[in-house]
């Protein structure tokens, strides 16, 4: 075991870190976890005329004054979460105080001198795993939530964090154990005058288990693709041709089209298949730059909501008016409409993909370009989660297929049992029932300090 891994395993230490985002803010959060968390924080707190003893606070928040320096005190909120019901399974204390970077750094240094060492990336979540508060799949999901780049990605990570995926894996492991128990019972008594009948449904049970594992594998493999890139939003000025492009891309007349600016006030969405079979949701909403009545204001509010939900944006400009400014930071492509009205010689050399909703020019190229732009856009934490779990599920699926083959060829139940043991080992590695330090450290590298 490397020195860094040993350092990470020192769960008897009390650790401290800034748990809120860095930089100035109205509030900052300092988090401590470990056997001396309450004592260290309590040594800097006062209430009324005496020390703010936290020993009587088993769970919840309390206002107190934090001694900063030379008798200077600052009003803070102290949150106490006792072992074993806290996030880490240890005593956890959080201080909520003004988010001045200089003040937070001063407090971190004071706590460090009092005996709390700086936490390493992901160390709070690692302690939660080691103390049985989370399994390894859930710990990976914490990192995926932190680094989520869209609302859809956040929801998918929360599904794993809530334990639904782990419960499904436990159910699969239970089915494998039931099959294995019948086989091993037969093997245990094979040298005695006791006949144990292996269920006639064994082949069917293995096939059903394989089908369930294949479904789980497909879900993991789909995560990076289906999560980010799930909602594509058409953005641009009013009357830039977004609604016509929306209709043309999904080969229908869903959106009203007019030469009058501001026709689109609500938002519309439709399924769209890109090149390579990738499916996304295409969204059209009100354009920018048009101010009118209360309905226009409501349309702009809906556009802002969709901007927050979208995985990616297609910036649409009217090709007749020129390219305008550069693309927005979140735009994956800039598209110029009405290509049928602008001769190629007049289109310039800007990085624009020209399309015509009337003639269909450029629509196939747009679908291909979108598929290429969205390829591999999942966050690193989410991609790592899907890759690791997918690889282990593939190993489990291969094991059950080997077991089916051994049974069909009459190679002996010993080989079937060995394959089922390998399957169970792969499932345990996903949830962390079996893990090694290198895997755990690799997962924690995706975390920021304080989580």
pLDDT for 117: 92
Write down the pLDDT at residue 14: 94
Instruction: Give CA–CA dist 310/279, Å, rounded.
Output: 15
The token duo for 130 is: 């080691």
Domains of the chain, by residue range, sit at 3-134, 143-225+380-432, 231-374
- Per the listing, tokens 């049928």 go with 340
pLDDT of residue 164: 77
Cβ–Cβ < 8 Å for 27, 97: yes
Task: Please say if the pLDDT value at position 384 is more than 80.
Answer: no
Q: Give yes or no for residue 360 having a pLDDT over 60.
A: yes
Alpha-carbon span 275 to 396, nearest angstrom: 31
**CB proximity list for 341: less than 8 A, separation 6 or greater:** 319, 320
- pLDDT for the residue numbered 226: 42
Checking if the pLDDT of 31 tops 80, the result is yes
Q: What is the pLDDT of residue 84?
A: 92
Sign of CA dihedral 408, 414, 420, 423: negative
Q: What CATH number belongs to 143-225+380-432?
A: 1.20.120.430
Q: What is the C-alpha end-to-end distance of the chain, expressed in Å?
A: 23
Taking the C-alpha atoms of residue 449 and residue 18, their distance in angstroms, rounded to an integer, is: 7
| Three-state DSSP class for residue 231 | strand
Q: Does 402 score more than 90 pLDDT?
A: yes
Residue found by looking up tokens 């290198």 in the block: 438
Residue 286: per-residue pLDDT: 77
Over residues 421-444, the mean pLDDT reads 81
Say what the pTM is. Answer: 0.58
The CATH code belonging to domain 3-134 is 3.30.1360.120
Query: Which position has the higher pLDDT, 311 or 265?
Result: 311
- For 281-304, the pLDDT digits (tens) are 788 887 775 555 555 566 666 767
pLDDT of residue 63 exceeding 50, the answer is: yes
Mean pLDDT of the chain: 77
- List, in order, residues 6 or more apart from 420 with CB less than 8 Å away: 176, 179, 180, 183, 399, 400, 403
CATH of 231-374, one of 3.40.50.300, 3.40.50.1100, 3.90.1150.10, 3.30.930.10: 3.40.50.300
348 sits in the region (left: phi over 0; alpha: psi -120 to 50; else beta) called left
Cβ proximity of 39 and 32 under 8 Å = no
> What are 337's two structure tokens?
């409409």
Token pair of 14 as six digits: 């009390």
Among 202-206, 261-265, 293-297, where is mean pLDDT lowest?
Answer: 261-265
């Amino acid at each position: 075991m490397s020195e860094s891994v040993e350092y990470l395993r020192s769960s008897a230490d009390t650790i401290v870190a800034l748990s809120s985002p860095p930089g100035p803010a109205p509030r900052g959060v300092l988090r401590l976890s470990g056997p001396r968390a309450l004592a260290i924080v309590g040594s800097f707190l006062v209430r009324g005329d005496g020390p703010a003893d936290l020993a009587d606070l088993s769970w919840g928040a309390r206002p107190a004054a934090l001694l900063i320096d030379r008798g200077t005190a600052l009003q803070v909120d102290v949150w106490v979460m006792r072992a074993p019901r806290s996030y880490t399974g240890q005593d956890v204390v959080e201080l909520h105080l003004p988010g001045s970077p200089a003040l937070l750094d001063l407090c971190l240094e004071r706590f460090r001198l009092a005996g709390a060492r700086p936490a390493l990336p992901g160390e709070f979540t690692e302690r939660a795993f080691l103390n049985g508060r989370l399994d390894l799949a859930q710990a990976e999901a914490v990192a995926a939530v932190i680094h989520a780049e869209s609302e859809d990605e956040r929801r998918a990570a929360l599904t794993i964090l809530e334990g639904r995926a782990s419960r499904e894996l436990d159910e699969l492991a239970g089915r494998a154990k039931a099959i294995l128990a019948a086989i091993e019972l037969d093997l245990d008594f094979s040298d005695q005058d006791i006949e144990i009948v292996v269920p006639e449904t064994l082949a069917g049970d293995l096939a059903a288990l394989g089908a369930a594992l294949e479904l789980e594998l497909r879900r993991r493999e789909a995560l990076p693709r289906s999560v980010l890139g799930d909602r594509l939003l058409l953005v641009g000025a009013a009357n830039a041709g977004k609604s016509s492009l929306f209709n043309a891309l999904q080969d229908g007349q869903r959106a009203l089209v007019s030469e009058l600016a501001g026709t689109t006030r609500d938002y519309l969405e439709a399924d769209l298949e890109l090149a390579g079979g990738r499916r996304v949701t295409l969204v059209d909403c009100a354009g920018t730059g048009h101010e009118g009545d209360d309905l226009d204001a409501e349309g702009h509010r809906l556009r802002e909501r969709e901007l927050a939900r979208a995985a990616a944006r297609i910036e649409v400009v009217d090709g007749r008016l020129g390219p305008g400014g550069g693309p927005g930071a979140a735009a994956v492509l800039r598209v110029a409409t009405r290509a049928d009205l602008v001769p190629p010689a007049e289109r310039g050399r800007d990085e624009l993909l020209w399309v015509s909703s009337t003639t269909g020019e450029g629509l196939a190229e747009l679908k291909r370009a979108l598929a290429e732009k969205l390829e591999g856009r999942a966050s690193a934490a989410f991609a790592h989660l899907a890759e690791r779990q997918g690889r282990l599920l593939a190993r489990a699926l291969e094991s059950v297929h080997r077991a089916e083959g051994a049974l069909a060829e009459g190679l002996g139940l010993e080989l079937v049992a060995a394959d089922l043991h390998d399957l169970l080992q792969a499932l345990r590695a996903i949830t962390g029932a079996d893990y090694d330090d290198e895997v755990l450290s690799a997962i924690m590298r995706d975390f920021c300090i304080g989580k």
